[in-house]
A and B are shown apart, each in its own frame.
Chain A
């Protein structure tokens, strides 16, 4: 196969769609502006789909062998599936979280729970609220519950 025969738009479209997917977790997740709404990834996916469509159409020109039409169909499907998977993870699956109707509301007393620090010592919310910050009694505590490191 000569270089000219390679369907460049098709393959670069596939690579770009993979990059658009992975770059969220590797790059954009670290910046609040690109993490909370994945506009950077959506733009990359738009570019990827445009390339895939161009490559697909190129493969279906009459002078192309059947083999490249089959390859183009598979590659285009994979690229579009990667795009769909990202949209699904971000906009559908990420919303499958419980609503927490019984969580303490503004104005209510928070339950005085006891948790464990990194030295295996129990520490209560009351203790967190009374341990001084830079020599002064704290005005409050922010509890940031997260899903875990794994």
Chain B
């Protein structure tokens, strides 16, 4: 997420808005935004609706056995169609921001 912050200018130039989503509450996200100084949106899916509908629920993997997201990145174009997906098979291995930016170049 730090690398997303560092590359915000490139995202703006590509006309693509990065948003980070977790099951953390809006309050926790507000705290994290202040701590880390993120200027892109951190959004809360505390109801788990989004991770359920994207089928990326990692059951019981969170604190106190709560359901959390398995790491996943989706590039969605202005018509709402998925243009690029990354589903890591090892949660220690994260997507590089360069890969996301490369995918944005293929958008119409």
* A interface residue numbers (CB < 8 A to B): 30, 32, 35-38, 89-91, 94-95, 97-120, 123, 125-126, 128-129, 131, 133-134, 136-150
Contact = CB atoms under 8 A, between A and B. Distances in A.
Given A108-B82, A150-B63, 5 more contacts: A105-B85, A109-B81, A140-B107, A142-B17, A144-B20
A97 B61 CA distance: 9
B43 A32 contact: no
A112 B1 contact: no
Interface residues of B, number: 72
A139 B22 contact: no
A98 B70 CA distance: 7
Interface of B: 1-4, 11-12, 14-24, 26, 28-30, 32-33, 41-46, 49-51, 53-59, 61-63, 68-78, 80-85, 87-94, 96, 100, 104, 107-108
Query: Which residue of A101, A112, A116, A126 has the most chain B CB atoms within 10 A of its CB atom?
Result: A116
B89 A138 contact: no
Contact of B78 (A106, A107, A112, A139): A139
A111 B54 contact: yes
Contact of A148 (B23, B75, B81, B107): B23
